[in-house]
Amino acid sequence: MISTCSLVEGVSGQPGCVRYCSMVPSTDIAGEVPPKLWVNERLLTLDPIGHSLSYEITENNMGFTRYVATLKVVGGSGGGDDDGCSLEWCFEADPVDGFSEESLVAYLQNGLDGMAAKVEDALHA
């Protein structure tokens, strides 16, 4: 999970702002700690009414050359406050060296699952 997240430029929460995020991955099979992974992300759009945002990776050490994503909160089907919600995450990316399409999707899904678990924990704390 993310160990560092900080504003690099712009106004936090405003389109155009850039944040730096990093994490130290788990130790590998040999017990060695791999290098820290980092990324700079620029907020492209923020729509509080539509419950969505989009962002792009501008710099990173993970091999992304082009990555743009949109996150959207979608309400439950019943229309009531207790019907829950889901998160839609759509992205476009150029191929990343060392990843097949399936392994890249699995890698990103693992990150999304981790974020969802943290949200669940926060809701039940």
Least confident piece of the model among 37-41, 45-49, 60-64, 121-125: 121-125
The pTM assigned to this predicted structure is 0.81
Tell me the pLDDT tens digit for each residue of 19-39. 999 987 665 667 666 678 899
Count of domains for the chain: 1
Domain span at 71: 4-123
**Number of C-alpha atoms within 13 angstroms, CB side, residue 9?**
6
Give just the sign of the alpha carbon dihedral 81, 111, 106, 46.
Answer: positive
What CATH number is attached to the domain comprising 12? 3.30.530.20
Tell me the pLDDT tens digit for each residue of 71-115. 999 987 666 666 788 889 899 999 888 889 898 888 888 878 877
